């Protein structure tokens, strides 16, 4: 089933990154170009503008197309502290951008990728984790990047896991891909969470990266199995057209 992509995020504004952003913007996608270095980000955008000007001069594209590309291609810089990137992770990402670019997303949690793409965690709190143990709130929230270190050092409480909402967000993304309603997320998560607990093998109480990677390794086929299990007692039916008393 095809997924409609409207917005593309590019991490790294070097030669490859700004080239990908340039081509994606020309193809009509909204592009967010991100880099940890404001200087590299500025240089990357200057390169894109220069390449666009040359294309206009050679009549490869029109001035109108150049203006449109500049309108949809945005530069966003998030300093390391804002998304909570530790020194070892910054060094690893720099190396991977050169040698294993396709693996760079595995160095970030789903919440961090959301922020890097221009999203606000607060807008997706409905897909977050329980905050009862962390904040004493009977609610669900996405823990913003940068706050996780404050939860470390208390393994019996399992606070680190409460900040990793990757499985919830992955389920939401898969349901969107399968064109299924968010209302069945609860039953899908019930099956997925048990498998997640069984399969995740963190090295210590602060190993959030393993939790994140395990959650996002769940395949579409697994999600289909969870949906199928939900229909074991009969077909899923929309809960509409009934009064509150009838539902009770």
How high is the pLDDT of residue 7?
Answer: 82
CA 125 vs CA 121, 128, 161: distances in Å: 7, 5, 16
Query: Which tokens in the block code for residue 138?
Result: 């009977």
Question: Which helix or strand (DSSP H or E) is residue 18 part of?
Answer: helix 15-26
How high is the pLDDT of residue 230?
Answer: 81
pTM greater than the 0.75 cutoff: no
How high is the pLDDT of residue 59?
Answer: 87
What does residue 51 show for φ and ψ, rounded to 5 degrees?
Answer: -65, -35
How high is the pLDDT of residue 82?
Answer: 57
How high is the pLDDT of residue 239?
Answer: 65
How high is the pLDDT of residue 80?
Answer: 46
pLDDT string in tens for the chain (248-residue length): 456 778 888 877 888 888 888 888 888 888 888 776 778 888 888 898 898 898 889 888 888 877 877 666 676 655 444 566 777 888 888 888 888 888 888 888 888 888 877 788 888 999 988 888 777 788 888 888 877 666 777 666 667 777 889 999 999 999 999 989 888 898 899 999 999 999 999 888 788 889 999 999 999 999 999 988 888 777 777 666 555 555 44
Alpha helices, DSSP H only, in 139-184? 159-163, 166-178
How high is the pLDDT of residue 212?
Answer: 92
User: How do the domains of the chain map onto residue ranges?
Assistant: 121-236
The secondary structure of 49-111 as a DSSP string is HHHHHHHHHTTSS-HHHHHHHHHHEEEE---GGGTT--HHHHHHHHHHHHH-GGGGGGGS-HH
């Amino acid at each position: 089933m095809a997924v409609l992509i409207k917005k593309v995020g590019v991490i790294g504004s070097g030669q490859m990154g700004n080239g990908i952003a340039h081509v994606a913007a020309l193809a009509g996608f909204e592009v967010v170009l991100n880099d940890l270095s404001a200087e590299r980000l500025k240089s990357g955008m200057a390169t894109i503008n220069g390449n666009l000007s040359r294309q206009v001069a050679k009549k490869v594209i029109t001035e109108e197309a150049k203006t449109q590309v500049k309108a949809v291609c945005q530069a966003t810089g998030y300093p390391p502290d804002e998304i909570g990137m530790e020194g070892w992770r910054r060094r690893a990402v720099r190396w991977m951008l050169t040698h294993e670019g396709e693996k760079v997303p595995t160095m970030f949690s789903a919440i961090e990728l959301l922020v890097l793409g221009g999203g606000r965690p607060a807008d997706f709190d409905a897909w977050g984790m329980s905050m009862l143990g962390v904040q004493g709130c009977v609610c669900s929230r996405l823990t913003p990047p940068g706050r996780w270190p404050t939860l470390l050092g208390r393994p019996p409480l399992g606070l680190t896991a409460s900040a990793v909402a990757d499985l919830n967000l992955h389920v939401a993304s898969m349901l969107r891909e399968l064109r299924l309603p968010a209302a069945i997320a609860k039953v899908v998560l019930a099956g997925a969470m048990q498998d997640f607990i069984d399969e995740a093998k963190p090295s210590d109480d602060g190993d959030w990266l393993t939790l994140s990677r395990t959650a996002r390794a769940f395949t579409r086929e697994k999600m289909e199995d969870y949906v199928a299990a939900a229909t074991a007692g009969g077909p899923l039916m929309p809960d509409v057209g009934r009064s509150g008393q009838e539902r009770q």
